[in-house]
Amino acid sequence: MDALEAMRTRRSIAKLRNAPVPRELIEQALAVAVWAPNHKHTEPWRFFVFSGDSRQKLADAFAENYKLDHPDASAEELAGPGHKTANRVLAAPVTIVVTSDVGRSEMETLENYAATAVATEHILLAAHALGLGAYWRTGEGVYTAPRNAVKELLNVPESAQIVAFLLIGYPDTEAKAGQRIPYIEKTQWFE
Ligand SMILES: Cc1cc2nc3c(=O)[nH]c(=O)nc-3n(C[C@H](O)[C@H](O)[C@H](O)COP(=O)(O)O)c2cc1C
């Protein structure tokens, strides 16, 4: 698969097979992630790979974040919506949490986030090219928790930004047809 085809055909894959992913494939994806462009060579990305039993710790941290965000949540809510992200982590063979370092200025922090987002897309494209399915998720607990249990688990500073948690495995479903507004409607040419 060439780069253009990979970019055109990559889709988020929600349903993953309950089958282990060889560590070598994840290593291949991470090895290309670090070639993302990054201003001032800050290389601000960090990757935290969870598989096997370690997924439970990550799932617990997401459940804890929900509690922190919803101190008044009922037991029902904690077991339902409060456990949604945790369940997703437990259902995926691999989750990579991607974080971005804070910069020495606001601008550098912004650019670090941009660079890490590109590195994240490299992982998604590599996963696709390697026959894996992946899903970039953020959502509940990533941005809003006053104390972030996931960051505590990763042992990253509170200032670090969680850019993605990438659920990865072999696809258990056909990718949904994507939909995009044609580039022509988003582009102005100055010639
Ligand atoms: C920064 C970012 C955060 C995202 N967070 C979520 C999320 O929390 N939940 C979710 O279902 N999808 C999330 N997505 C994935 C998008 O929903 C998905 O890329 C979009 O629907 C387009 O589908 P495609 O990836 O198949 O082209 C996120 C994507 C990005 C770039």
pLDDT in tens, the chain (191 residues): 899 999 999 999 999 999 999 999 999 999 999 999 999 999 999 999 999 999 999 999 999 999 998 989 999 999 998 899 999 999 999 999 999 999 999 999 999 999 999 999 999 999 999 999 999 999 766 777 778 999 999 999 999 999 999 999 999 988 888 999 999 999 999 99
Ligand 1 midpoint to CA 88 (Å) = 14
Please list every protein residue whose CB sits less than 6 Å from any atom of ligand 1: 11-12, 136-139, 178
Is 185 among the domain residues?
Answer: no
Which residues, in sequence order, are CB contacts of 101 under 8 Å at separation 6+? 42, 44, 45, 46, 112, 160
Is 130 among the domain residues?
Answer: yes
Range of the domain at 145: 3-174
> How many structural domains are present in the chain?
1
For ligand 1, atom 12, the nearest C-alpha belongs to 137
Ligand 1 midpoint to CA 56 (Å) = 23
Four-CA torsion 62, 66, 67, 69, nearest 10 degrees = 130
Cα–Cα distance, 141 to 66 (Å, whole number): 6
Ligand 1 midpoint to CA 24 (Å) = 25
Report DSSP state, residue 190.
Answer: -
Is 45 among the domain residues?
Answer: yes
For ligand 1, atom 15, the nearest C-alpha belongs to 136
Is 188 among the domain residues?
Answer: no
Phi and psi torsions of 184, nearest 5°: -60, -30
For ligand 1, atom 6, the nearest C-alpha belongs to 137
Q: Are 62 and 135 in contact (CB under 8 A)?
A: no
Which tokens go with 79?
């077991």
Among 51, 77, 74, 66, which Cα is nearest to 142's?
A: 66
Cα–Cα distance, 98 to 9 (Å, whole number): 23
Provide the residue type at 54 as one letter: S
Query: CATH number of the domain that 27 lies in?
Result: 3.40.109.10
